[in-house]
Structure 1
Amino acid sequence: MKVSSHEMVPEHEIIPGDEIPFLLEKYGIKIQQFPKLLISDPLVIEVGAKVGDIVKITRKSQTAGETVYFRLVVSNSV
């Protein structure tokens, strides 16, 4: 069974590399300041993300409609 098919799992997608500079500028941060997501995470594996990728996580919210989070994929040794 795919982990992403469970109703409680939010949507995960890889941000294209050419969009990352705009994201960094928008939030005024450096790439290392993003919250981390381990390369061994089942959803990271499922979407095919690699170390250094930024993953966009879109969660449904009863109060806000939906919320978006970003995570930097890191190796397990971090």
Structure 2
Amino acid sequence: MTRLNVLLHEMVPDHQIMTGEEVTDLLKTFDISEDQLPKIYHDDPAIKACGGKPGNVIRIIRKSQTAGEATSYRLVVRRPKK
């Protein structure tokens, strides 16, 4: 059985795991802590496909009709148990 790579789907934006240095620069630029970043669960299909682990910060680059592209950032966290 062939697995679908969700990152190749046209509706899924580019997901990139940031380096420690990039994260440090990001947090300094916006004068925030990691806890203030929006969260994304570790079991999100795009996070699993790009190899993201809890504690990683992900750069998400979306196509935008008005801005050309829009960049957002997410902290990978574990999904809480029910």
* Structure 2: distance between partners of 1:5 and 1:50: 20
| Pair 1:9 & 2:15 matched | no
Secondary structure of 1:23's partner? Answer: helix
Q: Distance in 2 between matches of 1:56 and 1:19?
A: 10
| Shift in Å, 1:17 | 1.4
Aligned twin of 2:70: 67
1: CA distance, partners of 2:22 / 2:5: 27
CA distance in 1 between counterparts of 2:58 and 2:24 reads 14
Which of 1 and 2 has greater Rg?
2
> Identical aligned pairs, as a percentage?
44
Code of the residue aligned with 1:40 in structure 2: it is D
> Gaps (5+ residues) in structure 2?
none
Q: How many residues align?
A: 78
Provide structure 1 residue ranges, at least 5 long, that are not aligned to the other structure: none
Q: Please tell me whether residue 25 in structure 1 is matched to residue 28 in structure 2.
A: yes
Q: Which runs of 4+ in 1 moved over 2 A?
A: none
